[in-house]
Structure 1
Amino acid sequence: MAQPSLIYSFVARGTVILAEYTEFKGNFTTIALQCLTKLPASNNRFTHTTDGHTFNFLVEDGYTYCVVAVESVGRQMPIAFLERIKEDFIQRYGGGKAATAAASSLNREFGSKLKEHMHYCVEHPEEISKLAKVKAQVSEVKGVMMENIEKVIERGENVDRLVDKTENLRFQANDFRQQGTRVRRKMWLQNMKIKLIVLGIIIALILIIILSVCHGFKCK
């Protein structure tokens, strides 16, 4: 790889490593295994920083995805890498296939995939950064939506009541539009009446002026 930014990765089920890959030597493998034994079983993300390296873990549905990175690369690349290998692993070994696959075969097959993903992330940092930002925005929107749903549930609202409220709002909007149309029509008629009255007054004034000047209808 161009730079040793991602140096070690593995996929484990429980505390058993199914596949791993590294091009470097060091005690990072021992530290990663120690962290693995202490991780909670629930789905979560975990990062441990020591000696200028970050040990990044993604736990989901009983599997743990890990990558050890140089601390200077930050968090975006390791997180994006973990998401990539998780999606690839699930696509290949989802539905219990990993449990039935031979350990040596799985380590050989997916170990090479870990290498490919590691090289790709290191060689395309800008693309990985953009994808990470997009996913972060999607997660943020999803989080806001879930928070709003939770607030609705906490207020005791249910789906039926929300549907009823939506229907009521729609009916109210229709009534408002109809009332607005009637008001506009009424105002138009009133304006026309006023205009006709003013026009009649003007015509009457003109007739009065003509009659006063001509002393009747027989002007000479």
Structure 2
Amino acid sequence: MTQKSLIYAFVSRGTAILAEYTEFSGNFNSIAFQCLQKLPATNNKFTYNCDGHTFNYLVDNGFMLDALMLKNDLSVFDVAAYCVVADESAGRQVPMAFLERVKDDFVLKYGGGKAATAQANGLNKEFGPKLKEHMQYCADHPEEISKLAKVKAQVSEVKGVMMENIEKVLDRGEKIELLVDKTENLHSQAQDFRSQGTQIRRKMWLQNMKVKLIVLGILIALILIIVLSVCKGFNCGK
């Protein structure tokens, strides 16, 4: 694969081109800029096809926000966008690998916030040569990039399976916790029931004792009345 497979690249903040590079002449830069202005906000990777070329974009919503938060200034917040125009023969893997490399390099170099306030073309002198370097590398190592893409895909697949398993474990844990909570509630209700039963039995015993004492008192009173009556008639005092 020749370097001509990757034709033009830029890094932007919003619609401000901070750095760009190309060795070719043509109107691809103006087309790339027009596409930049129409990027949808529903995804972070886009590819447009036009006249045998692909216009590939990678959008980073978080980088500029993090940089501006460090400066406590969100008034000029815009997303960072990375673009490369490629020949259709380059496919999709190489352009996207290029954008990922550029993004990582750009974030590493300007993560402190310089990119958040730089003027248009303000980073061209510093980062333009890095764009050239990455274009050359990706054009010269398509097989390596293809292998790396496969490895990343496998890692993503394994990561997805692991996350799914973790979610299942967590979901199972929530169900176990729910079962434990229900068991504890039943245990608590049983203890309350036993406590209430004990109180009821004690209350009934007391009421029963009261009835017995009242009956006993009535019997004693009747016996006394009878005895007194009988004694008076027979002169028990003599």
TM-score range, shorter chain: 0.5 to 0.7
For normalisation by structure 1, the TM-score amounts to 0.65
Shift of 1:146: 4.2
Do the aligned partners of residues 64 and 158 (structure 1) sit closer, same or farther apart at CA in structure 2, a change above 3 Å counting? farther
Name which of 94, 116, 121 aligns with 1:77: 94
Instruction: Tell me which residue corresponds to 1:59.
Output: 59
Alignment of 1:50-129 (within 5 A): 50-61=50-61, 62-101=79-118, 103-129=120-146
For normalisation by structure 2, the TM-score amounts to 0.60
Count of aligned pairs between the two proteins: 162
Do the aligned partners of residues 49 and 144 (structure 1) sit closer, same or farther apart at CA in structure 2, a change above 3 Å counting? farther
Instruction: Tell me which residue corresponds to 2:199.
Output: none
Could you say which structure has the greater relative contact order, defined with CA pairs below 8 angstroms and 6 or more residues apart? 2
Contact 2:17–2:120 (CA under 8 A) maintained in structure 1: no
- Residue ranges of structure 1 left out of the alignment (5+ in a row): 166-220
String of CA shifts for 1:111-151, please: whole Å, max 9, x gaps. 1100000011111222122112212222233334445556x
Contact 2:97–2:145 (CA under 8 A) maintained in structure 1: yes
Compare CA radii of gyration and give the structure with the larger one. 2
Alignment of 1:156-195 (within 5 A): 157=171
Whole-Å Cα distance in 2 between the matches of residues 163 and 109 of structure 1?
A: 56
Whole-Å Cα distance in 1 between the matches of residues 30 and 99 of structure 2?
A: 19
Shift of 1:161: 5.5
Contact 2:3–2:136 (CA under 8 A) maintained in structure 1: no
Shift of 1:164: 10
AA aligned to 1:121 is C
Cα RMSD over matched residues?
2.8
* 4+ runs deviating over 6 angstroms: 162-165
What is the aligned-residue identity percentage?
A: 69
Instruction: Tell me which residue corresponds to 1:24.
Output: 24
Whole-Å Cα distance in 2 between the matches of residues 77 and 158 of structure 1?
A: 42
